[in-house]
Structure 1
Amino acid sequence: MSTYRISQLAECAGVPATTLRFYEREGLLPVARTSSGYRQYTDSDRERVQFITAAKHLGLPLDQIRELLTVWDGGRCRSVRDELQLLITTQVATASERIDDLRIFRGRLAAALTHLRELPANDGPCDPACSFPPDLPARPPAPPLGRRAAVAIPTAAEQHESAPIACSLDGSAYGDRIEEWRRLFDGAEVERLPDGGRAARLPADRAAVLAQLIVAEQRCCPFFSFRLTFAGAHVELVAQAPEGAEPLVAALFDQDPSAAGETCPC
């Protein structure tokens, strides 16, 4: 039976070593240690990580994966299959709802384009006939076309007036969210700002996932402010928070898994 150090298992499993430490801390990946104190993994641990990764790719949250691992540890393939069927059936229903929502949103976008194309090309100021369709939902403006474009979300100072400095996620969900951020920032350039905020530079192909995380983060921590800038093949993110909440911003960017437990206000 093969044995692995943490760097070797990370390479074999295709996940960062920080993720393995996070799984260990969350009780998903028990680990033995050598007499010198080094982590030592086996083929069984490698299979366990691959199982966790597969479950994550199916969109299962950590609390469900933890329960699923309990079934998996029982050694009965039938039980794992039955449990997965139930969980994936729920995921299919959720995905279908999201598809329906996206279709509606796409229809609104198409209607807006049709409306704009039908407007006369007047050289004078806009008049009431140029008004945008009133049935469109309020959404942040899309970045203008060009070499560089920026999307700004309200500043921390503006949000601080009405948003308490407290995360609405519980401990398990908070840890899951932190892991999503750290997977996104794996290998990215991260800079600490003088005010305690963070700046990061990532490949532009991560922009869609980044935008989804920003929206999710604004729901649980509305006192955060984010500024997203598109620059050629990269996207640049600046995240800030009011005084006293800087550790929460740091937890999103910093790669030390223990930060999630230290900074979660729940």
Structure 2
Amino acid sequence: MPLTLSPVRPAADEQAGRDAPVACTLHGDEQAECAGQWRELLGQAVSREEIADGLRLTFPSGPGLAGRLAALAAAEQDCCAFFAFGFELAANALVLTVRAPQSAAVLLADLFAATA
């Protein structure tokens, strides 16, 4: 029996998050702490690619790093529900995809900016 693939549609709750208002509920020191945590982890990315509505970042594989990225992405959802995160685990890589609506492009660029 042949396998037929169809376009992937976002799950209802993923779409709901993408339709969420573009606003962060963190303020001041909380925002700075969160941004610092992202910078620390993003510094471990081995590649970064801009995609139509976000970024695709590749990291070395490993359960410790995967757990930290997943925990930070989950925390990010609590304060910035408009971001959508996806993870792909492969033999030698962990790929994190971050998507945001066009109206949040500046926030996406600020939070996930390339680190030196």
Answer yes or no: same fold by TM over 0.5. Answer: yes
Q: Distance in 1 between matches of 2:18 and 2:114?
A: 27
More strand by share: 2
Q: Which structure shows the higher helix fraction?
A: 1
**Given the two structures, how large is their TM-score scaled by the length of structure 2?**
0.77
In the alignment, is the contact (CA less than 8 A) between 2:49 and 2:57 conserved in 1? yes
CA contact (8 A) 2:43 2:115 kept: no
Q: Give the residue type in structure 1 aligned to 2:52.
A: P
Alignment pair present for 1:215 and 2:74: yes
In our comparison, the structure showing a higher alpha carbon Rg is 1
- Provide, for residues 60-91 of structure 1, a one-character-per-residue CA deviation record: whole Å limited to 9, x for no partner: xxxxxxxxxxxxxxxxxxxxxxxxxxxxxxxx
Between the aligned partners of 2:58 and 2:96, the Cα distance in structure 1 is 6
- CA contact under 8 A between 1:203 and 1:234: conserved in structure 2? yes
Unaligned runs of 5+ in 2: 1-9
Deviation track 1:10-35 (CA, whole Å, cap 9, x = no partner) reads: xxxxxxxxxxxxxxxxxxxxxxxxxx
How far is 1:249 from its partner?
A: 1.6
Question: Using the alignment, how far apart are the partners of 1:244 and 1:238 within structure 2?
Answer: 18
Q: Which residue, out of 171, 176, 194, partners 2:52?
A: 194
Runs of 4+ in 1 over 4 A off after TM superposition: none
Match status 1:183 vs 2:40: yes
Query: Where in structure 2 are the equivalents of 1:134-213 lying within 5 Å?
Result: 154-155=13-14, 157-161=15-19, 163-188=20-45, 189-195=47-53, 197-205=54-62, 206-213=65-72
For residues 71-121 of structure 1, give each alpha carbon's deviation from its aligned partner in whole angstroms, at most 9, with x where no partner exists: xxxxxxxxxxxxxxxxxxxxxxxxxxxxxxxxxxxxxxxxxxxxxxxxxxx
Q: Secondary structure at the match of 1:244?
A: helix
How much does 1:169 deviate? 0.4
What is the aligned length? 103
Structure 1: tracts of 5 or more residues without a match: 1-151, 258-266
**Distance in 2 separating the partners of 1:174 and 1:187:** 21
Counting aligned pairs with the same residue, the percent is 34
